[in-house]
Amino acid sequence: MPEHEYDLFSIGAGSGGVRASRVAAGLGARVAIAEERYLGGTCVNVGCIPKKLLVYASHYGEDFTDAEAYGWSVGERSFSWPRLIENKNREITRLNGIYRELLDGAGVQRIDARARIIDPHTVAVGERRFSTRHILVATGSWPSLPRIPGIEYAITSNEAFQLKELPQRVIIVGGGYIGVEFAGIFHGMGVETTQLYRGRLFLRGFDDDVRKTLASEMRKKGIDLRFQVNVERIERTDSGVVATLSDGSALEADQIMYATGRTPNTRDLGLVEAGVELDPKGAIIVDAYSRSNVPSIWAIGDVTDRINLTPVAIHEGMALAATLFEKRPTKPDHEDVPSAVFSQPQIGAVGLTEAKARERYAEVEIYRSEFRPLKHTLTGQEETTMMKLIVDRASDRVLGAHMVGSDAAEIIQGIAIAIKARASKAQFDATIGIHPTTAEEFVTLRAPVS
């Protein structure tokens, strides 16, 4: 008789937990996974996928206008938020089913309930107890809200995906990528949109040229973007909400949405009782192999607060399965991870920002270009694309690539391969561009800026 009922018990069926469980089962491990909410986690249900669908929907207004410059006559048009949400929900349900089939097909036992750790080798689901060699915590994160008067009248991104009606006026609080993306979504659907951020400039952690360029572009589109201001209290009115701001002014809107960060989802999981160390934010502290201080308890994804991106969680899950069940200890690689913000226009980034590069390298060269895309030479839109390369002068290695503009995410994905391969600026220069494209600018940047 085996010592334990399972080799791996995963808590959380998001992208990371599902991938780790499937791969582990494929390697011969006996695996169970418990999920109290929805298969696919944040990304599938209230994150990447539905958000990108809403971004697509919100951009059609501009597309209809631009089409006229290219000879198309666009007739009367209208937008139905309920129809969009209905179609989005149908797609999410389909994806939930795919995740279910993937787990079942891999032989992973699914448990649709909340699980809690009892000790380093025991997990409880209700009154049932399961014995396991290893426990994986992949419970993700959850939107956090500040403690201010009236915060109960605010929504988060979770609720925004299920609003019954589209508001006419919305206030978005927060300067991270979620706030920026929803500002573009609501504005594109005709909502009067105000975004507030307490700092000097939003999107902390991104390159400063990216941050400045996007702020300018959002204001051009008509979004009321306000920095160095915060909400002190929220009050309910007959027509919506009123937010009193730190500068003494007040804003009235139909909805106020907070996107002020996410907290690792570790409450009431039994982690502290089992001896697992958490950081001040509640994230599980893990080593380079995703192992906690308790040898049998592991954690991946947002719950560790390392790099909170779906593909990173998937990568960490695959590395964990190899470490535990393939006798091939594998550290997740967190260097040069590309990322995107589906703002309007988009952001794509990989590698070091200019500020980080200057901290680490003696001398860096900056190559930057700003221009109006070919498409808008006919539309008359004043949208600007910004592209930037950061190069180590001593080695000629390209340390970072950053872009604001249409299809930035698609373009940066390809550039990320070159950055990961430690390509030199000379190799970028030797690559022939595809003309006419925006992407060719990355291989035609010849003169560094001062």
At 117, which CATH number?
3.50.50.60
Across the range 3-10, mean pLDDT stands at 96
Across the range 107-120, mean pLDDT stands at 97
Question: Does 126 map to a domain?
Answer: yes
241 & 296 share domain: no
pLDDT given at position 360: 97
pLDDT-derived band of residue 289, with 50, 70 and 90 as boundaries?
Answer: very high
Rg of the chain, C-alpha, whole Å? 24
pLDDT given at position 450: 73
DSSP state of 439: G
88 & 138 share domain: yes
The predicted-structure confidence for 33-49, as pLDDT tens digits, reads as follows: 999 999 999 999 999 99
Question: Does 330 map to a domain?
Answer: no
272 & 135 share domain: yes
310 & 184 share domain: no
Residue 187: active-site member: no
Distance CA 151, CA 173 (A): 12
pLDDT given at position 79: 95
The DSSP bridge partners found for residue 262 are 143
319 & 390 share domain: no
- Reply yes or no on whether the pLDDT at 283 is more than 80: yes
Task: State which amino acid sits at residue 309.
Answer: L
The predicted-structure confidence for 295-344, as pLDDT tens digits, reads as follows: 999 999 999 999 999 999 999 999 999 999 999 999 999 999 999 999 99
Structural domain boundaries enclosing 119? 6-142+263-325
Residue 433: how many other CB atoms lie within 10 Å: 12
Across the range 418-434, mean pLDDT stands at 98
pLDDT-derived band of residue 1, with 50, 70 and 90 as boundaries?
Answer: low
Q: Which of 176, 169, 162, 141 is nearest to 343 (CA)?
A: 176
Catalytic pick among 59, 121, 334, 435:
435
- Reply yes or no on whether the pLDDT at 2 is more than 80: no
Average pLDDT, the chain: 97
The DSSP bridge partners found for residue 231 are 245
Question: Does 332 map to a domain?
Answer: no
117 & 25 share domain: yes
229 & 273 share domain: no
Q: 3-class SS at 153?
A: helix
Of the candidates 290, 325, 360, which is a domain's last residue? 325
Q: Is 249 left (phi over 0), alpha (psi -120 to 50) or beta?
A: beta
Question: Does 31 map to a domain?
Answer: yes
Distance CA 365, CA 368 (A): 10
Domain count for the chain, please give it: 3
